[in-house]
Every structure is written in C-alpha cells, then in structure tokens.
Amino acid sequence: MRTDDSLAGLRRFFVVPHTHWDREWYLPFEAFQLRLAVVVDEVLDVLESDPEFPCFTLDGQAIVLEDYLDVRPENEPRLRALLASGRLEVGPSYVLPDELLVGAEPLVRNLLLGRAVCRRFGAHPAPVGYLPDSFGHPLQLPQILAGFGIDSFIFSRGLGDQLDEVGVVFRWRAPDGSEVRAFQQLPAYSNFNVEDADAAQARVEETLERFGPALARAGVHDVLLCDGEDHRRVRRDLPELCAELERRLPGTSFAITRYADYVAAVEPDGLPAYTGELLGSRLQNVLRGVNSARLYLKRINARAERRLLDVETLGALAALRAGQPFPTSDFTLAWRQLLKCHPHDSICGCSCDEVHRDMLVRYEQLERTVSALERRALGGFAPTAEAVGVVNVLPYPRRGVVEIPGYEPVAIELDGFGACTIELSPETEPQPREGTSIESEHLRVEASPDGTLTVLDKPSGRRFEGLHRLEDEPDVGDLYNFCPVDGAPISRAESATTRVLRDGPVVHELEVRTPSVTTVVRLFDGIGRVEFRTAVDNQTKDHRLRAVFPVGATHATDVRAEGQFALVHRPLTPPTPKSEWVEPPDPTQHTLGALALGPLGLLTKGLPEYEARATEAGPEFCLTLLRCVGLISRPTGAMVTRPLGAGPQTPTPDGQCLGRHEFEYALLPDAESLDDTHLLRASQDYRHGFLITPEAVDFDPPLRVDGDVVFSCLKGAENGDGLILRVFNAQAT
C-alpha cells in the first residue's frame, strides 16, 4: 500500500454497509419485495445481536420501510427501535427517482413524502442527499436539497471532465448560489463489495492509487468505502474484515459508519466549486438512451403530472374561496401513487415488461384518484345554469381555444387563476378539401410534396423551410442506449398527400399523410405557435423515428432546454472529452418541455429526448418520437455506443412499442424574442391548456401573482391549514 508523498495522510477509511434497492427492475416488484423481507430480516438480526456492527444504511429511500412492513408487520417495533437509535439509516427521499425525466414538483414532493415517512416510523431522515444510481443530475438539485436543509450529496453517476477541474469532493453550486458538498463514490456504491480480506486489501490499494491524488488535492484525508450492491444482503463478518485490514495495513483505521458520519468528517473549507448539470460518463455509465425507451410511458407520466398539478391548483382555489382547509392528506395519496412510478428503473423504461405493465395500472389508479379530487373541488364553486366551465390553472392571463368534441371551438381569454362559463354550439361538420396550406393571423404553413413544411412567421417575415422531416433508422441497441447500424441508410419520406381538414373559424388544420405517419398541423387565431398531432401505427422493430426541424440561419451557440426550476443553457456543439470515458458521450439530450435555438423553439408533451445537430446547412433539432428495442441490456462489447453491459440480457417484447401511438408537440417561430421566463411560461401554456369542467363555474381570481416569475404549484401546507404558492425566478442572477 502506498503511504508516501501525497497519499500519506489517507489513513482513515469510512466503511458504509448498505444495500441499493431497486424496487422493480429485471423482476417485478413482488419478487423483489419478498427478497427485501429476507434482507431486512438479516439486518435486524445483525444489528440487534452484534454490538460490533454499529449501523446499516437501508438505501436513500423511505418506501422500503413500507414495502418491508407490508410483508413483516410484526417486526415494526424492532424496526422502529433501530431507526430511532440511528443505527438504521434511511431516506431522505421517498423513492430514488430518475432526476431528469420527472418534473420539479415531483422531486420536491419526493423529499417531502420521504421525510414524512421516515418520521412516521420514528427515524431521523438521513441528512444526506443520497442518490447513488440516478442516471445524471439536474442543474438545480443543489437548490432543491438545500431547501430541505440538506447540505451534502453523494452520487456515483454523472461526473465527466469535472473530475480534472474539481476532483471527487467539491462544492456543487446552483445558479442562485445554493450549495451542497458533493461526494463522488469511488467510483461507485459497490467499491467495497468484495469476497474476502485479500480482495478487500487489493480494492483499498486500487482506490487509493486511482483517487487518492484527487482526494489529497481537495484536502480530504478520509476515504469512503461502500460495502453494498444491488439487492445485497448484509455482510455479517464486516467487523472482522475491518479488523483484519487494520492488522494488515498498520496505521490505518477502518470504521463502520453511516454516510452522514463520513460527510461530517470532511472539512468544507477550501473545496473547489462547480455549477452545472452532472451528465458525464467518465467513471460510470449514465445511460441516457432511457430518455427514449418506452416513450409511451413518458407521455403517460407527463399527462399524469399535469393532471395532478392542475387539480391540486383547482383544489387550492376552491379551498381559498370556500374558506375551508385544503385536503392535504387526500392529495398526498395521489402524490404517493405518482411517485411509485418514478424510481429510475421504472420511469426510465429499462425494466422487464411486467414492471411497465404494472405501471400502466398505477397510472390508471392515479387518474381515478385525481378525477375524484377534481369532482370534489368543483363542489366548492357555485354552478351556473348551463354550458361548461373553463378554469385557468396558471396565474398568468392567457388566450386559448376550448375544444370539445361535437361542438364548435371557442376562443377565450382568462385572467390568471380565473374561470368563466362558455356556451357551446353544435359543431358544423367541417368539410375537408384538397390543399397544401393553412393560414392564421400570425402564421402560414405550407406542405411540400415530400411532406416537409414551410412556416412563415408573418410579424417578423421569417421563413423556416424543410420542417418536420421524418427520419427513421435502425437501432441495434437496448433500453439503455441507442446504437446505430454502421452504414445503414436513414429512411426519409419521399412523398406525401395533403388536405385541409378545417379552415376556420378559430382553428385551421392541415393533414399531411406519408405511407406510415399521419400528422395534423394546427393553427389557432390569435396564438403564435404551430401545433402538431402525429399518429404512427408502428409495426417495425429495432428502429428510431425522429422529426427533424432545421433552425435556419442563426448566430446562437447555446440550446435552451427546460429543466427543473430552470431553463438550462447547453452548447450546440458539446466539448470533446479530454480523456477516455467509460461510456462515450451521447449526442442526445433531455428536456421537460421547451427547446430553443435562436429563433426556433419546440414545445413537447412527454417527448423528452432531442438532439441538437450541427450540419453544413445549419443547426437542426431532432425530436425523438419512437425508439423501439427488445432487450433490457446487450452484453459488454456488443455496442459501439456503450462498451460495457448495463444489466441483464432480458428480452422485452413490449419495448418494441408495436401498435398505434400519438404524439403532441408545437413550434414557436419567435423563440429568440422570449427570455427564459417567458419561454417557460409558453411551455406551460401549451402543456397545461385550460381545465374544462362538465359543470359551469364562474369566479373572479381569488389570488394574483405579479412579477416575472414562473409558477410551480399552489398546494396545501404540509403542517397546517394554509396554502403554499411556489414560484421561481428563471432569469440569470
């Protein structure tokens, strides 16, 4: 073992016994729940019987307590005693989510619920942001953690060339200045998962050789060793193993601890700072192909999040008007149902087919819960005699179109948090006609013979050509990563038929039909965006379908993409890694809804994957509509886009996404005129629409929000009868 030079001070080792618990993955939840019962049984036995075994970390998610006690309710007193003493560490999250595919509010509610569950069982929520297996981390996570009083963050995936700049222990800073101390596991949460003392000694020496210099540069004198793995049982002889290492390596100490103990031992002074996303794959795979795996799940989840937030806002407005308490516990039930779909192996779509079929059932159950909450909230308003009600669930004045099947569309304007009643007229059946173009007050759209579109933005005179080019290409990857076929051509539509489905008033629709894809392009009077509804009957396996939007001439060099509590700015051409990464950088990226580069913007509903591609003709956006594959993971060496395997080689026929799919997205021709705040508002306006009620309601806004802020939620307080209004400043400070 090296003891000289800069590594001489690294003599104290913190060994954290733990298990990382994927609730569902290559097996369904029920199989892993029964395995969890065995693992926790053994943990309880060891902690109760061996005073030399001081503690165990039961992962970073509190839901495992509920899962275990559903099987072993008789062990609740034993569990409570160990939680109360601090010997069993759990939380602070409810589940370990994918942090990039879910919205900002779900991340906040995940921590709120996780801490509440910990306290319900007598535990002190772990004071560490422990997210060991998430496939990358968002820009604003330090601010979210700091908002809960959490000042540290432990992770395995996401470090890229920041390793050379800030090392493995650093201050991770959000744009507002909030900070957490970030600790890269060395290099993963299984770095001490070894068979015996010989292997343990070799692993210690390897860890010091590889990461000791980075620790020393940061002035960190203690080394974190993680004795655990996915679904790992407790190592009963860990105290003896630590004692043997101390005997073999004189002058060292190996203490069995919790993550919080290690964090407390590291002095915060002098650590370098970093601001930005953590999406690199220098040390560990980040597997961002999950952004497009089983995209039907992403669309369903996006709708579920929208519905829950909209109805929660409606419930808060109803409580405010009626002077009644907000039904916090009822909405907590709904949030619990949603969050159970957000573990990284679940929402990412990279599990066995049974898992994702179960998720569809959970989403159906959630919709029933939300619908019941919606009906109850509407009872807080006085109904009028006829027609239907329209509620603006956002705090900004909005203009939109109400469309109800069988009735004429109605253009309306509403104040923020306002409502009105509209009378409906039976629809005059539109008469489709031949044609290649539609036009509104602000926009004109014309289809070319190959099915691509030209959009004219009348106010600016700017013209975008070749839009919505459909590209289909083979994919020999898996649920974790796309992998192209070397030399395989990209298929593009060569011809299309068009017709005008509706030409006003209010709504204008152009149908563009290729042999396999039908798109309805929509314009609305008074609204400056082009909307798309695209339908595909997919009967092809192992491929990726994307819609391509050339940006046109622009001097812009940064892509703006919607993230949690922020619009993230990313370079159009990412920097080339300075060293070899475990997984090559993926050219695709993620968005929660909005994208913009120069004048062209895109808004999406549950389509999180895009690529900003630089070409000789200029930059273009590639929006993924489908990615269809049939394996959880291909083995090591099988893919050029990911050298290492990422999981079991389990067949997933449902991952081929056969059948009919419908996609919704929109184009903004004037995105460069929108600052970050107003681009995010435009995204909300498109995604949320108006809430349409079967019973007419009419009220003045009971609450007003002023200033250039972005709305996040209006909800009941967790502790009390008040309401919480959450908004954020999206502008650079």
Distance CA 392, CA 684 (A): 11
Question: Which of 43, 96, 45, 40 minimizes the C-alpha distance to 69?
Answer: 40
Question: Which of 139, 211, 204 minimizes the C-alpha distance to 169?
Answer: 211
Q: Is the pLDDT of residue 382 over 60?
A: no
Name the pLDDT band for 389 (thresholds 50, 70, 90). Answer: very high
Angle between helices 353-378 and 328-339 (to 10 degrees): 160
Distance CA 545, CA 536 (A): 10
User: The tokens of 328 are what?
Assistant: 């916090």
**C-beta separation of 62 from 117 below 8 A:** yes
State what percent of residues in the chain have pLDDT above 70.
98
What CATH number is given for 433-685 in this structure?
Answer: 2.70.98.30
Give the pLDDT confidence score for residue 720 in this predicted structure: 77
Name the pLDDT band for 721 (thresholds 50, 70, 90). Answer: confident
What is the residue-averaged pLDDT of the chain? 95
Q: Is the pLDDT of residue 3 over 50?
A: no
What is the residue type of 159? L
Q: Is the dihedral of CA 391, 393, 397, 402 positive or negative?
A: negative
Helix (H) or strand (E) holding 623: strand 620-628
Domain boundaries defined on the chain: 5-284, 292-425+690-728, 433-685
- 68, HSE (Cβ side, Cα atoms, 13 Å): 25
What is the residue type of 94? Y
Question: Which of 354, 356, 277 minimizes the C-alpha distance to 570?
Answer: 277
User: The tokens of 431 are what?
Assistant: 């008469």
Q: Extract the runs of DSSP E, i.e. beta strands, from 475-588.
A: 491-492, 497-503, 507-513, 517-524, 527-538, 543-550, 558-563, 566-571
- Helix segments in 130-171, DSSP class H: 141-147, 162-166
CA torsion, ordered 679, 663, 687, 423, to nearest 10 deg: 130
Distance CA 378, CA 691 (A): 11
3-state secondary structure 354-420: HHHHHHHHHHHHHHHHHHHHHHHHHCCCCCCCCCEEEECCCCCCEEEEECCCCECCEEEEECCCCEE
pLDDT average, residue stretch 349-368: 99
Question: Which of 430, 594, 600 minimizes the C-alpha distance to 505?
Answer: 430
Q: Is the pLDDT of residue 384 over 70?
A: no
Distance CA 256, CA 316 (A): 47
Give the pLDDT confidence score for residue 381 in this predicted structure: 64
Q: Is 309 helix (H, G, I), strand (E, B) or coil?
A: helix
pLDDT average, residue stretch 362-368: 99
Give 337's contacts (C-beta < 8 A, 6+ positions apart): 362, 365, 366, 369
More confident residue, 721 or 308: 308
User: The tokens of 336 are what?
Assistant: 């619990």
Give tens-digit pLDDT for 247-280.
Answer: 999 999 999 999 999 999 998 788 999 999 999 9
Distance CA 382, CA 372 (A): 18
pLDDT average, residue stretch 13-18: 98
Give 300's contacts (C-beta < 8 A, 6+ positions apart): 360, 363, 606
Q: Is the pLDDT of residue 553 over 80?
A: no
The CATH homologous superfamily to which domain 5-284 belongs is Glycoside hydrolase 38, N terminal domain (3.20.110.10)
Give tens-digit pLDDT for 400-452.
Answer: 999 999 999 999 999 999 999 999 999 888 899 999 999 999 999 999 999 99
Q: Which of 339-353, 594-608, 712-726 has the lowest mean pLDDT?
A: 712-726
Give the pLDDT confidence score for residue 256 in this predicted structure: 99
Give the pLDDT confidence score for residue 380 in this predicted structure: 63
In terms of phi and psi (left: phi > 0; alpha: psi -120 to 50; beta: otherwise), the region of 59 is: left
Question: Which of 674, 572, 649 minimizes the C-alpha distance to 614?
Answer: 572
Give the pLDDT confidence score for residue 490 in this predicted structure: 94
What is the residue type of 472? D
Q: Is the pLDDT of residue 609 over 60?
A: yes
Q: Is the pLDDT of residue 655 over 80?
A: yes
pLDDT average, residue stretch 191-197: 96
Helix (H) or strand (E) holding 112: helix 104-120
Q: Which of 228-232, 359-363, 417-421 has the lowest mean pLDDT?
A: 417-421
**C-beta separation of 291 from 544 below 8 A:** no
What CATH number is given for 292-425+690-728 in this structure?
Answer: 1.20.1270.50
Distance CA 553, CA 95 (A): 44
Give 264's contacts (C-beta < 8 A, 6+ positions apart): none
Give the pLDDT confidence score for residue 8 in this predicted structure: 60
Q: Is the pLDDT of residue 6 over 50?
A: no
Name the pLDDT band for 383 (thresholds 50, 70, 90). Answer: low
- Tell how far CA 679 is from the center of its chain: 19
Distance CA 403, CA 123 (A): 50
Give the pLDDT confidence score for residue 10 in this predicted structure: 85
Long-range contacts of 70-76 (CB under 8 A, 24+ apart): 70/33, 71/33, 71/34, 71/36, 71/37, 72/37, 72/40, 72/41, 75/40, 75/41, 75/44, 76/121
Give the pLDDT confidence score for residue 4 in this predicted structure: 45
In terms of phi and psi (left: phi > 0; alpha: psi -120 to 50; beta: otherwise), the region of 469 is: beta
Residue that has been written with the tokens 């549950």 in this structure: 606
Please state, in angstroms and as integers, the Cα–Cα distance from residue 58 to each residue in 114, 260, 261, 284, 562, following that order.
13, 13, 15, 22, 33
User: The tokens of 142 are what?
Assistant: 């330090």
Give tens-digit pLDDT for 672-690.
Answer: 999 999 999 999 999 999 9
Give tens-digit pLDDT for 285-298.
Answer: 999 999 999 999 99
